Chain A
């Protein structure tokens, strides 16, 4: 199927010139040299082509052959992705050798594996694009739905009987086209849907500071900027483990091998608290570590979002996590520098901002071709050089995402985790979520959020004054604010990823914990205004408030309410 395209005339690192390449197209995928390295056509001039090779080109020589493939960089989509580990070009890593020699990786799916297929249509039926032809139990958690391709409609001519099929076998013939269980899709092209819908359904992450203060809708986007060690990876991994989406696509983009090994171990060991299935069963992991080829890193986030769209088309809510988009941007910068494109800011090519915007645009809540509602949510870590939040990738990301969870070095340094800053973070989804909560019967949600944010800001301001004048000179209400903001930080916002009770917190317990602190705040204020000496208020032992999140299970609302009642009675009768 591969067509000869020409021979190498020059090798300059990952850039290769090819003679006799007149049949090639720009952006076409080619295989280069005797080791069949993957490459992409960058430009054409007369009889020659310039190809950018995705793998290490050490030892590659002029006169070696280049073969065309006839298609752009594409992902192989079909059952078997869930639970799998792939490189940035969606090539299977699990059964590859211990060392990633150039040219060693091939496809995404196991061509031999047999899947139990159940048809959903009968011969003679009329089908539209996106209709379900049949299903395969891909994992215990997710049923794979084989769909009619987006440009195809017509009569079912043949359909496979219930039975075992491989990904390459024909399962149906529609209007003269043979359809197999798997297909390929060019990763840089968004998969079509019938239309965009406004969202309003929350993505519950189980992380209190996110769900309570800077929440996200399904189909939305969030950027997570923060210097090294501030907790981006742990936060995103917590969301990958505990959020209530159907499918997670985790893209380790130019990051560490060790942390992915640990994550994969966790995915295999931990059960989803809702379905009881292994987390692995709903997760696709794409890993292009920082020492793997740069161009495959550049491709990895597109590969990831394409896989997510694929499950969205089946009607699932998918979340793409990209850690870190800064490493992707650096790969973009490198390939631009090699092609001698004129750089804009800090060496990045001028298309950085439009490329970022287009990437985040692939998120959304959609009506699928088949009429279902489904979503793709995108969460991207940003690693600003020197922690400089004005640098281009951070600055542009902030413009294009709906929520920013900005990680603060001072908080991380003080071991306040997750170190999400309440002053630099924001969420444009908060209002629509307030409406959703109200419709669900909780009309105090927005009010509690406002109060909490206000308390945190007030305390910051008061603290900076106290640093100059000492706490003693402050009026009582301000001293109450200091006490309660501390309870809010330690008892509600802090959440250890390592605590078995607290790594995930159910929405009801989240609400109860926040109400606990806000009620204490109101009671203490009333008490202070009623004439109780501030020293007596400060002497109250409220340490249980900081401990209760960790001491009772993720959904134990009662323990929180009991503590609230007990503390209220103590405030009413301070000893």
Chain B
């Protein structure tokens, strides 16, 4: 497939060309923390990248944090340990951090800086683009309004992911959020239209990285995935670049190559911790829990890259995955994420303990854009009514369960006992599914009706008579008995 828009058409992309030998500066005046000061520089821009060559030939990377007429302060991404004032030679790259703009990324597995990990050739392109991204003009955005089908009933049925949306997964350590993210990455599709998955692993263990690679392998064969892997022992500053790199590639695939692109970023808590560490090293004033005051804006500069644009077929959809430290949803990372994203999928430890996979806490979860992205023509005409009904029954079932804790389940009225049975069935038959099981929307919604139909039709007050007649599978749609109310 050829790109609908060429690099350089509307971005300030730099053509890749054989570079004249860049000037090397050897006048390092000081080294402190991750920062080095280089004197006598000429014509260097703020935020420009640098390559720093040590005496033994080792190459490190840096960016310009502060530049004056005659000196530049460079932050060394790999840290300055082992560096000396003498013998360090620094060359500047002529511009901010950038990546090649090409479809060649598809099918590749790279490290957090975009260097191949899969034994393949380096990724090249005719142009390079800055990874920090340029904001989409809000006036050219179009509201997200079509679904991405993940094959996971809990999501497709009750918190539909919509193209152009940003919908995070909030989890806690020990829950299968990486498995869920990988399952979504493998199964997600948009009814046959061109699609791609960009997965950025941030600060994950080598074991998790290996299993993610294994799982995504199936799809890599179709040249539909790109993986960027920054492991827990990779440089912390690199962790700040990896999602930007992933999103720059995603934007190209979406807005220039007409694909629907799903970006998964896991684990954003590791990213935020890296940001906190770098901010502290720069001596910035911390705010809540030591995070810098710009954490919201920084996360937004990533998450707002999701969206749809007028006149373009593609879209960028974002699923950030994060673990809530101590399960605390008011912790700055989940809290500020919730303030930026359009809803959230919350995983619950008690469901996991009961063996439910995926352990999605329905009441805490919400896809704010679902109303526009599901229903007639998009998924199925009964979808929104069914999901409203399941939510409302679930809310009442939880109340009944609370009561049961005090008075015992046997002492509950029959209607409440019916609700408890409904909840158990919903968890067992609808929510639970295999990690390799991809369900169609039809199958998901039919399962929903199967569970709802355990209750008398009169209990399904959120569903219209018409829909009830068409979908209800219980014995007697007009039964007077066992009224739930």
Interface residues of chain A, those whose CB is within 8 Å of chain B, are 9-13, 17, 56-63, 85, 93-94, 96-101, 227-229, 252, 254, 256-262, 264-265, 287, 289-292, 294, 327, 330, 333-334, 337, 343, 346-347, 383, 385-388, 413-415, 498
A256 touches B304 (CB 8 A): yes
Asked if B10 is an interface residue, CB under 8 A from chain A, the answer is yes
Interface string of B337-350 (1 = CB under 8 A from A): 01110111000000
Given contacts A62-B68, A256-B342, 13 further A-B contacts (CB under 8 A): A57-B47, A100-B134, A229-B338, A254-B300, A257-B138, A257-B304, A258-B141, A258-B144, A260-B141, A262-B143, A290-B296, A290-B300, A386-B288
Known contacts A61-B44, A289-B304: A261-B138 contact under CB 8 Å? yes
Which of A12, A58, A265, A388 is in CB contact (< 8 Å) with B66? A12
Cross-chain pairs A/B with CB under 8 angstroms, 19 sampled = A11-B66, A59-B48, A61-B44, A61-B45, A93-B138, A93-B139, A98-B255, A100-B134, A227-B335, A254-B296, A260-B138, A261-B138, A264-B139, A289-B300, A290-B340, A327-B296, A330-B296, A334-B293, A334-B294
B12 touches A346 (CB 8 A): no
Known contacts A59-B96, A333-B293: A10-B136 contact under CB 8 Å? no
B363 touches A97 (CB 8 A): no
A100 touches B136 (CB 8 A): yes
A-binding segment of B15-23, B258-266, B366-374: B366-374
Select from chain B the residue with minimum beta-carbon distance to A14. B46
Which of A13, A289, A330, A387 is in CB contact (< 8 Å) with B138? A289
Known contacts A257-B141, A258-B141: A229-B343 contact under CB 8 Å? yes
Kindly list chain B residues whose C-beta atoms are within 8 Å of the C-beta of A12. 46, 65-67
Select from chain A the residue with minimum beta-carbon distance to B366. A229
Known contacts A59-B96, A97-B10: A343-B285 contact under CB 8 Å? yes
Select from chain B the residue with minimum beta-carbon distance to A62. B69
CB distance from A151 to the nearest CB of B (A): 35
A291 touches B305 (CB 8 A): yes
B45 touches A385 (CB 8 A): no
Select from chain B the residue with minimum beta-carbon distance to A266. B143
A85 touches B332 (CB 8 A): no
Q: In the complex, which of the residues B69, B138, B164, B392 has the most CB atoms of chain A within 10 Å of its own CB atom?
A: B138
Asked if B435 is an interface residue, CB under 8 A from chain A, the answer is no
Given the complex of chains A and B, what is the CA–CA distance between A252 and B284 in angstroms?
Answer: 28
Number of interface residues, chain B, beta carbon within 8 A:
71
Kindly list chain B residues whose C-beta atoms are within 8 Å of the C-beta of A292. 135, 138
Known contacts A12-B46, A258-B342, A290-B297: A97-B67 contact under CB 8 Å? no
B343 touches A101 (CB 8 A): no
Given the complex of chains A and B, what is the CA–CA distance between A259 and B368 in angstroms?
Answer: 10
B391 touches A415 (CB 8 A): yes
A98 touches B137 (CB 8 A): yes
Kindly list chain A residues whose C-beta atoms are within 8 Å of the C-beta of B165. 258
CB distance from B463 to the nearest CB of A (A): 15
Which of B47, B142, B330 is in CB contact (< 8 Å) with A58? B47
Known contacts A58-B47, A59-B48, A289-B135: A258-B164 contact under CB 8 Å? yes
Asked if B81 is an interface residue, CB under 8 A from chain A, the answer is no
Select from chain B the residue with minimum beta-carbon distance to A59. B45
Asked if B140 is an interface residue, CB under 8 A from chain A, the answer is yes
Kindly list chain A residues whose C-beta atoms are within 8 Å of the C-beta of B364. 413
Given the complex of chains A and B, what is the CA–CA distance between A264 and B142 in angstroms?
Answer: 9
Asked if B43 is an interface residue, CB under 8 A from chain A, the answer is yes
A254 touches B336 (CB 8 A): no
Select from chain A the residue with minimum beta-carbon distance to B145. A262
Known contacts A59-B95, A337-B293, A386-B335: A85-B138 contact under CB 8 Å? yes
Given the complex of chains A and B, what is the CA–CA distance between A498 and B368 in angstroms?
Answer: 12
Asked if B107 is an interface residue, CB under 8 A from chain A, the answer is no
Given the complex of chains A and B, what is the CA–CA distance between A59 and B11 in angstroms?
Answer: 15
Select from chain A the residue with minimum beta-carbon distance to B48. A59
B44 touches A228 (CB 8 A): no
Interface string of B299-326 (1 = CB under 8 A from A): 0110011110110000000000000000
Kindly list chain A residues whose C-beta atoms are within 8 Å of the C-beta of B43. 61, 63
Asked if B103 is an interface residue, CB under 8 A from chain A, the answer is no
Kindly list chain B residues whose C-beta atoms are within 8 Å of the C-beta of A334. 293-294, 297
Asked if B287 is an interface residue, CB under 8 A from chain A, the answer is yes
Given the complex of chains A and B, what is the CA–CA distance between A400 and B121 in angstroms?
Answer: 62
CB distance from A15 to the nearest CB of B (A): 9
Known contacts A58-B130, A291-B135, A385-B335: A99-B11 contact under CB 8 Å? yes
Select from chain B the residue with minimum beta-carbon distance to A327. B296
CB distance from A58 to the nearest CB of B (A): 4
CB distance from A396 to the nearest CB of B (A): 16
Kindly list chain B residues whose C-beta atoms are within 8 Å of the C-beta of A257. 136, 138, 141, 304, 307
Kindly list chain B residues whose C-beta atoms are within 8 Å of the C-beta of A98. 10, 136-137, 140, 255, 309-310
A346 touches B137 (CB 8 A): no
Kindly list chain A residues whose C-beta atoms are within 8 Å of the C-beta of B284. 337
